[in-house]
Amino acid sequence: MLRGGRTKIATLLGAKELGREVVAKGWVRTKRGNKNIAFVALNDGSTIHNIQVVVDVAQFDEELLRSVTTGACLKVTGTLVESLGSGQPVEIQATAIELYGTADPETYPLQKKGHSLEFLREIAHLRPRTNTFGAVLRVRHAMAFAIHNYFNEHGFVYLHTPIITGSDAEGAGQMFSVTTFDIEAPPRDEQGQIDFTKDFFGKHCNLTVSGQLEGELGAMALSEIYTFGPTFRAENSNTPRHLAEFWMIEPEMAFCEIEDNMNLAEDFLKYLITYALTHCRDDLEFLAKMYDEELIPRLQFVVGNDFVRLDYAEGIEILMASGQKFEFPVSWGLDLQSEHERYLVEKHFRKPVILTNYPREIKAFYMKQNDDGKTVRAMDVLFPKIGEIIGGSQREESLEKLTARCAELGIPEKDVWWYLDTRRFGTAPHSGFGLGFERLLLFVTGMANIRDVIPFPRTPKNAEF
């Protein structure tokens, strides 16, 4: 089916049948040449590669050709022929050019190549037109597709959990409020507190930090589910690994203990990386050439090796014995920072690491408590260059232990009664984890800043586009 009256450039570049008339549409990346002949590199986002359009200057209107500048949008009709130049298999000998839209060279921000990633963040509305962001966005799409594919093949049900919620799943309290109140003058009760019973939902609501709690409700009926949606955290951390709005994939499995959970996490990550190596080769090679020579060997290494599985306590011992100076000093009970995670992964083991059995005090209320009374059955997957890529756990399935933990942490039962009902009625061992989609993309693309793997990043003081 021909859509939009054109063939995509990715298809044209792979075409075997030459000598026929084709139509390509896209944006001009470069134009070069002389008085007699012009070469226009055209890109439509279907591939990292441009198609070369060869223009016999004498055959075309001078005015029209003057307007064919970087950024302009064209319809090109011509003959698809073998290319004599190196670097491309085929090119188009133009017979007609229609100009859809000009791009004034004086003001088009992408007139020149080689802009810094920092600058491109300021023009996030135009940066998809660069090679880098074209590549990143195609890989992002491929990974989203592969995620659904993986779970579909393994019999998981895609569960849509709400974005607006009344609960704080992670208990970190870093939530964005959702309200229809006039923020200048919200209704107040007799004590002067804001009266959320009069708000849209009749209670104080927030944007979700995780779909897990609702995911568990699904798993306790459908046995294996996953969520894949946006999550929001109002943490004021301006790091290259944190976003205020990010996407998370959260599988949740009934009848699974922590070992099954670790096995799934490892198999899932390896599947996704293999998928990228197989289906996004051109884009990965481009990104490797531009930013990170080690990218492809690093991806292959992760796919080809078992992840190390280690107790948190052993991890702490290794860090303490390392002789390394850390910004945050190490002792049992420490919530590991990325400097510690990366030491274990990059310096000590030189492999991805799954750390388990963390101190209960630094982990969420729902994690399964170990018999030692000190640790919970948490698991974090730590990756080179990234640190934590996955956080998960076996869940506490005992109603008694869970309500006791809620009481200790001051979580009112009236807020989580529906969650506790899964333990009250037909409880079962179950486990799950959350993969940060953009952290995965950082790893797969080799990009260094999380703002560069999502089309329109949301970070403190940044929501322009």
Binding string to Mg ion for residues 318 to 357, with x set by CB under 5 A, is what? ----------------------------------------
DSSP 72-101: -EEEEEEEEEE--STT-SEEEEEEEEEEEE
Which range binds ligand 4AD by CB under 6 A, 18-26, 240-248, 320-328, 352-360? 240-248
- Binding site partner of 210, from Mg ion, ligand 4AD, none, Cβ cut-off 5-8 A by kind: ligand 4AD
Nearer to Mg ion, 13 or 379 (CB): 379
Q: Check residue 212 for interaction with ligand 4AD (CB under 6 A).
A: yes
Residue 166's contacts (CB-CB under 8 Å, 6 or more residues apart) are: 201, 203, 204, 205, 206, 415
Separation of CA 390 from chain center: 12
CA distance 361 to 376: 9
Largest Cα separation within the chain, whole Å, is 85
Structure tokens at 238: 């301006």
Answer yes or no whether residue 384 interacts with ligand 4AD by CB under 6 A: no
Contact between 388 and ligand 4AD by CB under 6 A: the answer reads yes
Task: Say which entry of Mg ion, ligand 4AD, none residue 434 contacts (CB below 5 to 8 A, set by partner kind).
Answer: ligand 4AD
Closest C-alpha among 434, 459, 436, 441 to residue 137 = 441
94 vs 78: CA distance, rounded Å: 4
β-partners of residue 406 are none
243 binds, among ligand 4AD, Mg ion, none (CB under 5 to 8 A by kind): ligand 4AD
Q: What mask of x and - would describe binding to Mg ion in positions 82 to 121, judged by CB under 5 A?
A: ----------------------------------------
206 touching ligand 4AD, by CB under 6 A:
no
CA distances from 12 to 7, 16, 28, 159, 448 (A): 7, 9, 16, 39, 33
Measured in degrees and rounded to the nearest 5, phi and psi for residue 413 equal -60, -30
For tokens 């510690």, name the residue: 340
Contact set for ligand 4AD, span 389-418 (CB under 6 A): 389-393
| Of the candidate residues 199, 341, 438, 452, the single one contacting ligand 4AD (CB under 6 A) | 438
Nearer to ligand 4AD, 315 or 434 (CB): 434
> Which member of 24, 248, 287, 416 binds ligand 4AD (CB under 6 A)?
248
The SS3 call for residue 396 is coil
Provide the token pair at 374. Answer: 């000190």
Question: Which amino acid is it at 458?
Answer: R
Rounded to a whole number of angstroms, the minimum distance from the CB of residue 226 to ligand 4AD is 10
**Binds ligand 4AD (CB under 6 A): choice among 246, 312, 365, 443:** 246
Burial 248-271 (b: 16+ CB within 10 A, else e): bbbbbbbebebeebbebbbebbbb
| Residue 159 binds to ligand 4AD (criterion: CB under 6 A) | no
CB 140 within 8 Å of CB 457: no
Q: Which two tokens stand for residue 98?
A: 């229609």
What, of ligand 4AD, Mg ion, none, does residue 457 touch, CB below 5 to 8 Å by kind? none
Residue 434 binding ligand 4AD, by CB under 6 A: yes
Pick 7 or 393: Cβ nearer ligand 4AD: 393
Residue 134 interface partner, choices ligand 4AD, Mg ion, none, CB cut-off 5-8 Å depending on type: none
CB nearer to Mg ion: give 391 or 432: 391
Angle at 320 between CA 319 and CA 324, to 5 degrees: 70
Residue from 218, 352, 436, 457 touching ligand 4AD (CB under 6 A): that is 436
For residue 352, the 8-state DSSP code is -
Q: Are 76 and 65 in contact (CB under 8 A)?
A: no
356-395 footprint of Mg ion as x/- string (CB under 5 A): -----------------------------------x----
Q: CB under 6 A: which stretch of 146-154, 187-195, 199-207, 385-393 binds ligand 4AD?
A: 385-393
- Which of the ranges 140-148, 295-303, 396-404, 432-440 carries the binding residues for ligand 4AD, by CB under 6 A? 432-440
The SS3 assignment for 194 reads strand
Please give the residue ranges that form the binding site for Mg ion (CB under 5 A).
Answer: 391
Please give the residue ranges that form the binding site for ligand 4AD (CB under 6 A).
Answer: 169-170, 210, 212, 233, 242-243, 246, 248, 250, 388-393, 432-434, 436, 438-439
